[in-house]
Structure 1
Amino acid sequence: MERWFSRITMFWMLFLGEVQSQDWTKCSTGCTCDGNKMSVTCNGLKNVPNDIQKDAKKLDLKYNSLSKLSPTAFHNLKELTYLNLDSNQLQTLPTGVFDHLVNLNELRLGTNQLKSLPPRVFDSLTKLTYLSLGYNELQSLPDGLFDKLTQLETLYLRDNQLRSVPDKAFDKLSKLETITLYTNDWDCTSCDILYLSQWIRVNAEKVKNFLTGQNDLPDPDGVTCQGTMESVNKITKENTFQAGCPTTTQQMATSPASTTTTETMTVREKQTKPRMKIFQEELFSKASIFFCQVIFTQHVSLVVIHILAEIPLLHIVCVVRKP
Structure 2
Amino acid sequence: MERWFSRITMFWMLFLGEVQSQDWTKCSTGCTCDGNKMSVTCNGLKNVPNDIQKDAKKLNLEYNSLSNLPSKAFHHLSKLTYLTLNYNELQTLPPGVFDHLVALGTLNLNNNQLKSLPPGIFDKLTKLTRLDLDRNQLERLPNGVFDKLTNLKELWLRNNQLRSVPDKAFDKLSKLEMIVLTGNDWDCKSCDILYLSQWIRGNGEKIKTSNAGYTDPDGVTCQGTMESVNKITKENTFQAGCPTTTQQMATSPASTTTTETMTVREKQTKPRMKIFQEELFSKASIFFCQVIFTQHVSLVVIHILAEIPLLHIVCVVRKP
TM-score (norm 2): 0.69
Change (3 A) 1:145 1:247: farther
Q: CA deviation at 1:216?
A: 1.9
Q: What residue number does 1:174 align with?
A: 174
User: 1:238 aligned to 2:235?
Assistant: yes
Deviation string 1:218-237 (CA, Å, 9 cap, x unpaired) is 10111000010000000000
Q: Is 1:96 the counterpart of 2:96 in the alignment?
A: yes
Q: Structure 2: where are the runs of 5+ without partners?
A: 1-21, 252-320
Post-superposition shift, 1:242?
A: 2.7
Closer/same/farther in 2, CA of residues 186 and 24 from structure 1, 3 Å limit? closer
Instruction: Render the CA deviation track for 1:6-55: whole Å, top value 9, x for unaligned.
Output: xxxxxxxxxxxxxxxx9563100000000257100000000000000101
Amino acid of the structure 1 residue aligned with 2:179: I
Instruction: Please give the root-mean-square deviation of Cα atoms over the aligned residues, in Å.
Output: 2.1
Q: Retained in 2: the 8 A contact 1:92–1:115? A: yes
Contact 2:190 2:241 in 1 (8 A): no
Name the amino acid aligned to 1:167.
Answer: D
Is the 2:24–2:34 Cα contact (8 Å) retained in structure 1?
no
Give % identity.
Answer: 77
1:222 aligned onto 2:219: yes
CA contact (8 A) 1:23 1:36 kept: no
CA distance in 2, matches of 1:233, 1:163: 14
Q: Is the 8 A contact 2:64 2:88 kept in 1?
A: yes
- 1:190: how far off? 0.4
CA–CA distance in 2 between the matches of 1:189 and 1:165? 14
Distance, in Å, in 2 between the alignment partners of 1:248 and 1:67 is: 48
Return the letter of the residue paired with 1:129.
Answer: T
Amino acid in the other structure paired with 2:141: L
Q: Is residue 180–residue 209 contact of structure 2 (8 Å, CA) maintained in 1? A: yes
The aligned residue for residue 45 of structure 2 is 45
Q: Do the aligned partners of residues 232 and 97 (structure 1) sit closer, same or farther apart at CA in structure 2, a change above 3 Å counting?
A: same
1:125 is aligned to 125
Runs (4+) off by over 4 Å = 251-254
Q: Is the 8 A contact 1:190 1:241 kept in 2?
A: no
Q: Distance in 2 between matches of 1:252 and 1:83?
A: 46
Matched-pair contact (CA < 8 Å) for 1:23–1:37 = no
1 CA distance for matches of 2:99 and 2:175? 22
State the distance in 2 between where 1:98 and 1:249 align. 43
Are residues 251 and 84 of structure 1, via their aligned partners in 2, closer, same or farther at CA, if it must alter by over 3 Å? farther
Paired with 1:129 and 1:248, the residues of 2 have a C-alpha distance of 41
Contact kept, 8 Å, 1:81 with 1:103, in 2: the verdict is yes
Partner of 2:297: none
Which residue number in structure 2 is paired with residue 28 of structure 1?
Answer: 28
Structure 2: how far apart are the matches of 1:42 and 1:178?
30
Distance 1:253 1:62 in 2: 49
In 2, the alpha carbon distance for the partners of 1:151 and 1:204 equals: 19
